[in-house]
């Protein structure tokens, strides 16, 4: 069980902070169920309520600073394969965003980045679907790394680029 004040990643919603744990006094919700009250860190004023016992919820603690630094070092060696079938890739990327696993998000970003570079080199633009997935993955991953590494979210991309050089 997570503690009040703890930072977590809540699926495709990104980094949240546990604001409360307990029943919620809201019409339509059972008083005998315990909920996490989550405040989204990078979307001010947004609250999420999820049952503590929800097995379908993808909630996990953020990476530690040590784990975050190790992941960034590992990015240089990642060689994700491109999934050619659009429908299969879309389902796969949707699931990666839903689970918000930092390593899988990193691979997804790398694959989409290389795909964009290939398309630009051949005189084409990146597809809107690729761009949507790319930015969603960046948003979740960079948010988590910013908290874990104690830096501004806007500085994370440059930090990764410097470490990968």
Q: Indicate whether 50 and 76 sit together in one domain.
A: no
Q: Give me the phi and psi of 13, to 5 degrees please.
A: -85, -20
Q: One digit per residue, pLDDT tens: the chain, 165 residues?
A: 899 999 999 999 999 999 999 988 878 776 788 999 999 999 888 899 999 998 888 899 999 999 999 999 999 999 998 999 999 999 999 999 999 999 999 999 999 999 999 999 999 999 999 999 999 999 999 999 999 999 999 999 999 999 888
Query: Model's pTM, two decimal places?
Result: 0.92
Q: Indicate whether 33 and 103 sit together in one domain.
A: no
| CB 128, CB 43: distance < 8 Å | no
96: closest CA among 134, 65, 137? 137
Q: Indicate whether 52 and 69 sit together in one domain.
A: no
When divided into structural domains, the chain yields a total of 2
Cα separation, 134 vs 114, whole angstroms: 11
Domain assignment of residue 1, yes or no:
no
């Amino acid at each position: 069980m997570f503690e009040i004040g703890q930072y977590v990643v809540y699926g495709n919603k990104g980094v949240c902070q546990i604001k409360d744990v307990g029943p919620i006094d809201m019409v339509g919700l059972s008083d005998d169920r315990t909920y996490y009250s989550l405040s989204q860190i990078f979307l001010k004023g947004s609250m999420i309520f999820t049952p503590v016992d929800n097995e379908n919820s993808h909630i996990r603690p953020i990476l530690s600073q040590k784990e975050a630094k190790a992941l960034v070092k590992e990015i240089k060696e990642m060689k994700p394969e491109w999934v050619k079938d659009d429908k299969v890739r879309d389902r796969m990327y949707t699931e990666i965003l839903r689970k918000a696993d930092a390593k899988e998000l990193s691979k997804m970003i790398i694959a989409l980045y290389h795909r964009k570079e290939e398309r630009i080199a051949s005189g084409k633009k990146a597809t809107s679907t690729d761009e949507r997935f790319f930015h969603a993955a960046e948003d979740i991953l960079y948010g988590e790394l910013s908290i874990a590494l104690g830096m501004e979210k806007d500085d994370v991309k440059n930090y990764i680029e410097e470490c990968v050089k």
